[in-house]
Structure 1
Amino acid sequence: MTQTTKSSAYGQLVEPTVLKLERLLPGPVERVWDYLTQSELRRQWLASGVMDLSPGTEFEFVWRNDELTDPPGARPDGMGAENRMTCKILDVDPPRRLFISWGVQSDVLFELAEKGEDTLLTITHRRPPTRDVLLSVSAGWHAHVDVLEAKLAGTKAAPHWDNWVRLRSEYDRRFSA
């Protein structure tokens, strides 16, 4: 993707079970790294959970998506007020690269690159186990990064759940079977 990458940019399937999403975010790499690795900052856009940035160390993500935006939007049926998942640090190169397991079936690579005064965030999510999970994580990453982008820019994000539902339908269309 080009430097014009912004919230309208959708994730792409670079292989049948590999999602890649790129987003140009305002601010330096170190600031974005902090929002990625510090629990109190990360909970504002994704999920809380203290990370010991040592390979092999497990940590728990705790999602409370109703708290991400005000208003949160209508939570879809089947989605809980809180969700938890155990992950593991697989590799880390601060402040440029963080590679984690995503539960037990997939993994996620976060890469940060300086682009002038901004930061290019690249998220690569590999091996979601089903099409349904692929659509959920595609919409999820997109919607969560929308919240991060707004937070870093000092603007207000769209209601998280409404955005996620819209994006899930759009990814279903884009990644037609």
Structure 2
Amino acid sequence: MDDVVSDDQGGMLRFERVLDAPVETVWAWLTEPEKRKLWFADGPMDLHEGGAVELVFDHDHLSEDDVPYPEDAIRWKGVTSRERVVTIDPPRLLAMTWDGGKNGVARFELTPEGAGTRLVLTHTGIGDPGHRKGTAAGWRSHLAVLAGRLSGHPVRDFWKLHAESMKAVFGG
């Protein structure tokens, strides 16, 4: 798993992963709610510039095992985020607002790499350093779930993975 590259001055996070699936398959996992909910969040996405994106977070779908929410995370169950598509070029590029644009833009770029896909996620415009670290841990965890789903090795316990990501990002 590649670690995050962060630019503390510009509020930027960058992740790179080589995923075990062709670009078209990865695109489907980014854009189709039934697939996206298995690694990130459910909800419809209007696939055009300016299109509405609804992200419904339910981490019960992320673990292979039946793993309950930790007490400090239960408040996030069912939270819905309403975003907008900023840029789209199927199946290579998708960028959307984050926190209604208050915390920048998440941009996914897909390029073929052998039989797989190189995914570059760049999240810009996250002003608060603490929020940036929390977002980094979240993206790190969710991308690991995506990689596991695509390789046939799903994550058994998302919350354990997320705790490891928090340690990696915050130290300790």
| TM-score, normalised with respect to structure 2 | 0.90
The CA deviation string for residues 147-167 of structure 1, in whole angstroms up to 9 with x for no partner, is: 111111111314111211221
Identify unmatched segments of 5+ residues in structure 1. 1-6
Answer yes or no: is the 8 Å Cα contact 2:44–2:53 preserved in 1: yes
Q: Give the structure 2 partner of residue 72 of structure 1.
A: 67
For residues 29 and 130 of structure 2, what CA distance do their matches in structure 1 show?
28
Q: Which of 40, 49, 56 in structure 1 is aligned with 2:50? A: 56
Partner AA of 1:64 in structure 2: D
For residues 82 and 163 of structure 1, what CA distance do their matches in structure 2 show?
20
Identify unmatched segments of 5+ residues in structure 2. none
Taking only the aligned residue pairs, the percentage that are identical comes to 29
Q: Give the structure 2 partner of residue 3 of structure 1.
A: none
Q: Which moved more, 1:56-65 or 1:31-40?
A: 56-65
Q: Which of 123, 144, 167 in structure 1 is aligned with 2:165? A: 167
Map 1:70-149 to 2 at 5 A: 70-72=65-67, 75-80=70-75, 81-103=77-99, 104-105=101-102, 106-149=104-147
Would you identify which runs of 4 or more consecutive aligned residues in structure 1 move more than 4 Å? Answer: none
The CA deviation string for residues 95-130 of structure 1, in whole angstroms up to 9 with x for no partner, is: 000011012211110000100101001100112232
Specify the SS of the correspondent of 1:157.
coil
Answer yes or no: is the 8 Å Cα contact 1:57–1:89 preserved in 2: yes
Give aligned pairs, total: 167
Q: Give the structure 2 partner of residue 156 of structure 1.
A: 154
CA RMSD of aligned residues (A): 1.7
Q: Which of 25, 32, 42 in structure 1 is aligned with 2:19? A: 25
